[in-house]
Homo-oligomer: A and B are copies of this chain.
Amino acid sequence: MLDSPVIGTKMPPSITFTLGEHRYERSTESRVVPAGMLAFPAGLGNAETLRIVEGAVCLYQQAGDGGRRILDILGPGHVVGAFLTDLGGCNVLALTRTRLAAVAAPEEPARIAEATRTMLKRAQSHALLLRGNAVSERVASCLLDLERQFGGEFGPGPDDETTFTLHLTRADLADWLGLTLTSVSRGLNAFKRAGLIAFDHPKVITIRDREGLEALASGQGEPTRRRLPQAASPAGGF
């Protein structure tokens, strides 16, 4: 298991303790959660609102048949808390070693309101993405989102290329995007062959042609399976 060293040099004194089989680290300012662990385990102060400082989490629902249903992937800057998990019986799972900072009490209500708006917008965008888009559009869109969230990790490379770590498996990606594992893999490799992205290790992605991906993500690409009907009636009457 991870040794949970304190990252950075100016961290306040922290305490490390064990809950179940996992070790948590906590201080007055931030908390570190190892990969694969819930960010809000029972007994850790569930009511807290936390801001992701580094790492990645996924917001998911536990389906009845044991499968996960990933609602969103959140990186640094996003605010999570009971206001999210209470909404639909969701969980917040750390996809990698994630550091979270408590949101100060005086500004907590405003942060929660802002985060709720942000999540609503993301959920609407995601619904639109899933509404009628082909594999290539879904994969392109999610790559761009993940790049925006995690692209700062290694800094920009030559020729405006960005490399980031994919914290999800192909199966997770498929779950999030409403596709199958094989379709995601095919999509990623098609992009790779087309020179839009590059990857040697399946979890380290380099964006090589952002404009090309954006064109695909917005449905401007070659006319693949468009599920959009012709424009609706001008005045949706009865």
Contact = CB atoms under 8 A, between A and B. Distances in A.
Interface string A107-147: 00000010011011101111110111000000000000000
B229 A130 contact: no
Nearest to A86: B117
Contact of A128 (B69, B124, B180): B69
A6 interface: no
Nearest to A178: B131
Contact of A123 (B124, B203, B238): B124
A131 B130 contact: yes
Contact of A167 (B66, B169, B238): B238
Given A87-B121, A124-B87, A169 B67 contact: no
A175 B232 contact: yes
Interface residues of A, number: 57
Contact of A231 (B66, B71, B123, B235): B66
Interface string A79-117: 000010001100001011000000000000000010011
A186 interface: no
Contact of A119 (B68, B96, B120, B125): B120
Contacts of A132: 178-179
A10 interface: no
A36 B237 contact: yes
A237 B134 CA distance: 28
A175 to B, nearest CB: 6
A58 B123 CA distance: 17
17 contacts: A35-B237, A36-B237, A58-B236, A67-B229, A67-B230, A71-B124, A87-B120, A88-B121, A93-B236, A120-B123, A131-B175, A132-B178, A132-B179, A169-B232, A171-B232, A172-B236, A203-B238
Interface of A: 35-37, 58, 61, 65-69, 71, 83, 87-88, 93, 95-96, 113, 116-117, 119-121, 123-128, 130-132, 167-169, 171-172, 174-175, 177-181, 203, 227-238
Given A36-B236, A95-B238, A116-B117, 20 more contacts: A35-B237, A35-B238, A65-B231, A67-B229, A69-B128, A71-B124, A71-B128, A87-B117, A95-B236, A116-B116, A116-B120, A123-B123, A130-B178, A131-B178, A169-B236, A171-B230, A171-B232, A179-B227, A180-B227, A203-B238
